[in-house]
Amino acid sequence: MKTSFSQLDADEVYEALLNAHHGLSEQQSQLLNARLILLLAQHVGEAKAVQDLIAAARESPELP
């Protein structure tokens, strides 16, 4: 599982994500996030890999 942005411009991706949320209500932003997560999970294509990524995100030190 890759957890670094070795070949990905993290700032560019973050900016695109922020721009996608611009002007949306909180509910619309939540729906956008849900759709994006499902599309990315489908792109990954392996349930175990997605489960590992969910666990890694959950273990993030920023979450209480």
Q: What's the confidence (pLDDT) of residue 64?
A: 57
| Model confidence pLDDT, tens digit, residues 14-49 | 999 999 999 999 999 999 999 999 999 999 999 999
Which tokens hold the place of 4?
A: 């670094």
Distance CA 12, CA 51 (A): 25
User: How many residues are listed for the chain in this entry?
Assistant: 64
Which tokens hold the place of 61?
A: 């030190």
DSSP character at residue 40: H
Distance CA 34, CA 30 (A): 6
Q: What's the confidence (pLDDT) of residue 45?
A: 92
Our CA angle for 50, 51, 53, nearest 5°, is 65
What's the pTM? 0.72
Residue 51 pLDDT > 60: yes
